[in-house]
Amino acid sequence: MSGFGLQEIAGIVGGTIRSGATSLLNPTIQTIAIDSRTIADVHSCLFFALRGVRHDGHAYVEELYLRGVRSFVVCEPVDTAIFQDAVFIQVDDSLHALQQLSAAVRAQYHYPVLAITGSNGKTIVKEWLYDLLHQSVKIVRSPKSYNSQVGVPLSVWNMSDQFDLAIFEAGISLPGEMEKLAAVIQPTIGIFTNIGEAHQENFSTLAQKLEEKLKLFEHCNTIIYRKDQLEVDRLMHALYGNSDKKLLAWSASELPADFELQMTVGAASTRIEYRWKEQAFAVQVPFTDSASLENIGHCLAFILASDYDCDAVRRAFARLQAVAMRLELKQGINNCLLINDYYNSDINSLTIALQFLRSQALNERRPRVLILSDIEQSGFSDEQLAEAVNRLIVAYGVGRLIAIGSGFYKCRHLFGPNAHFYQTTEAFLAAFQPADFKNEHILLKGARDFRFERIAALLQKKYHQTQLEVDLNNLVENLNRYRAQLNPETKITIMVKAFSYGSGTVEIARALEFQQVDYLAVAVADEGLELRQAGISTPIIVMNPEEHSFEMMLEYQLEPNIYSIDLFEKFDQAARRMAVTNFPIHLKLETGMHRLGFSSPDELNEIAERVPRAGRLRIQSVFSHLAASDSPEHDEFTREQFGVFNRLSAPVVANQPNKVIRHILNSAGIERFPEFQMEMVRLGIGLYGVSQSDALQAETVARWSTVVSQVKKVKEGNTVGYGRKGQVEYPKRIAIIPVGYADGYDRRLSNGAGRVWIAGRQYPVIGNICMDMTMIDVSGADVQPGDPVELMGEHIRLTDLAQWMGTIPYEVLTGISQRVRRVYVQE
């Protein structure tokens, strides 16, 4: 887009310019940002300080100023004398100002703008339309699933006169939000995908939510929707039936519609026949599931309504691929960390992927490598694109570029000495040497036509097919849901002990550090050392410190939990030997759990007096642990614990020159006893998806999966597995999956106690679980070798496994073997 000057922006958003500079700086703004961690080009960036429930962008103004940012939109008073050469645009509401500015960008362009809303399918419809049309139409679209009150204006900002079509998603979670998005997008044509239960908690009825969503289309010329959704059809006609809008309803059933599809579903593909302008056509698509076919119907209707239909586009339907909407973080060969992003390939999504790369490599010395394909239909010339990529490489600290495609190859002279070029993916594969990749963070970013999955197969460390997929988006969502229960000033410690409850320590810690949590807690010093060696700088508490590790803890700033006078004496001696001063320690108090901890007021008073006098140590916090915060029948005991904690901690806090942090709440305590949150809380199992209340509704973070190895028929009277426990009363089909108790799939799940999810339903375990294999009774189902199997996830919940095993979710998660590969995904 063409840039704006600050004075022009102030006029657009109705703001007042404030500056401590003697002469007003008025740079041309090329980029906008709302997250201090994502800013690369400080000179042309305008930072919008947004206020949220838990975060306030104004808190990062000083940090950004020190990094070189000089242009800000704020809605709180700022002392301009402190920021002498910065320019602030003062507004009443910085989010509204962001939306106003993007609406002004949108108003500059007159090509078609498609807005997509609905409960599901928005991103897939957008991406498939791009895949179908980008060879002939230059398209600007929402990066990833940027469809919120913030995501939409950030997307619209990317419009420019080099495009022919814009496609933007719009999603809402509250009444009153859609009008704001409609004012930003100003769509000329709309697609309504479907209506479902997502975000229903904020709407009184499904009809109310539907009506709110349809407000996006108030000024559209054409609206596309599915006739088969009767409530959508009814309300669409009630709202817009008497207007001058064209309502284009399509149907795949017997219902008469403006556009009728005949879908013939085969084994691996579907033939779709239709008539348009009195002619018959057909397309073949490589999908058979109902959700994908519905998304195809929306795409086809838009293409016809917009006169994009042609032989090339119809042929492109057969080449559509499933949209991978998330970045994948995996262990690579030779101690590399591999980030796969096959989502889409444009400058905006490249920027997002590089931000993720930087967040994973934060404070770590391993070099960053970018393997990048040509970016087709970018809106730039080859030379402009090369310059844009060069700027991003420098801004995000990429040490080595491997560029694949004829466009980059032609412009290879514009890149530095650490750039390598191949005209095709095949050329790179032919030249590939595993030894060329060691101890690096590698971002693999390619357009789908380049089939970078072949490169990923070479770079990825080889494991068997059982994996634990950790959703970092859901992890962060859970963190924010718990944060919302706290006062803004309350600090938070995240428990990452025991391999982050089985989820993987370093990767989880990196994500949490990027979210700026206050503390991490590990069980033993070796876990903390691993985090420090991976570049994690967040303060770390060691819950079970051992004497032999004291000097290492002091060297690596690992803060001990001190739970006895003997342990205090030994750590104090180590601090004297290491000649440290003011080193933080944490005192554990015994309040009723009867594990580790001080219970003697005399011992606590002695430590409280000695620590400030000697000056070697500093009491950073005092804490205790609730024994039964998740059990309502013990609530009175929990309150008694809190009273004991107050009595024991008060003299310690009073006798220290520094402010001592107090914390007693765990995950269940945060939900059930927020009045006890004090200065800090500790979040553990709740982060990983186990919440105590329906109101919080923690998201599933880990999905444990495998595939079917073999399917066989077993005759009546035979048995399955060790000990002949699996009795076959009638002929059965048995699926064997490559996971057993050595992987953490517990033997207590044997003989029908446990179940797995295959092809849309649950199937029971038959016989005893083996060390490396488990047998599943799939009688009556068309299960085949290679079919995916969910052991734990959306359909088999973590709490289900725990219940079937007769244990708690902690044991299930921590019991998943480290030989099960961890894959980290982020949208």
Residues involved in catalysis: 497, 722
595 is in an annotated binding site: yes
CA distance 19 to 699: 44
For the CA atoms of 258, 259, 262, 266, the dihedral, rounded to the nearest 10 degrees, stands at: -140
- ∠ at Cα 672 (671, 677), nearest 5°? 75
Provide the residue type at 39 as one letter: I
CB count, 10 Å around CB of 657? 9
337-341/327-331 β-pairing: antiparallel
Q: How far apart are CA 516 and CA 512, in angstroms?
A: 6
Class of residue 67 by CB neighbours under 10 A (exposed 0-12, middle 13-18, buried 19+)? exposed
Residues paired with residue 703 on neighbouring β-strands, in sequence order:
469
Contact 560, 542 (CB under 8 A): yes
Decide: 37 and 359 in contact? Cβ < 8 Å.
Answer: yes
Residue 277: C-alpha distances to residues 236, 285, 302, 514 (Å): 24, 22, 15, 54
Six token digits for residue 61: 């103004």
- Token match 């089939």: residue? 451
d(CA 513, CA 530): 15
Question: From the centroid of its chain, how far is CA 752?
Answer: 35
Distance, CA of 473 to chain centre: 2
Q: Helix/strand/coil (H, E, C) string of 195-244? A: CCCCCHHHCCCHHHHHHHHHHHHCCCCEEEEECCCHHHHHHHHHHHCCCC
Nearest to 337, CA basis, from 345, 346, 326, 329: 329
Look up residue 701 and give its amino acid.
V
- Residues with Cβ within 8 Å of residue 81, at least 6 apart in sequence: 20
- Phi then psi for residue 271, to 5 deg, are -95, 125
Instruction: Name the helix (H) or strand (E) containing 435.
Output: none
51 annotated as a binding-site residue: no
What single-letter DSSP state applies at residue 27? P
Q: What are the C-alpha distances in Å from 359 to residues 67, 70, 410, 766, 797?
A: 17, 23, 32, 44, 30
Which residues are 28's β-sheet partners?
5
**Residues 825, 326 contacting (CB under 8 angstroms):** yes
Q: Specify whether the CB–CB gap between 40 and 395 falls below 8 A.
A: yes
Neighbours of 489 (CB within 10 A): 7
The strands making up 788-792's β-sheet, listed across from edge to edge, are: 419-422, 400-404, 368-373, 441-445, 337-341, 327-331, 821-826, 467-471, 702-707, 788-792, 755-758, 761-764
- Using DSSP bridges, classify how beta strands 165-169 and 139-141 pair: parallel, antiparallel or unpaired: parallel
Nearest Cα to Cα of residue 723 among 770, 764, 779: 770
Sole residue written with tokens 């219902």: 255
Cα Rg for the chain, rounded, in angstroms?
Answer: 29
Contact partners, residue 60, CB within 8 Å, separation at least 6: 36, 47, 49
Measured between its terminal Cα atoms, the distance across the chain in Å is: 25
451-475 burial, b if ≥16 CB within 10 A, otherwise e? bbeebbeebbeeeebbbbbbbbbbb
Annotated binding site for substrate: 595, 771
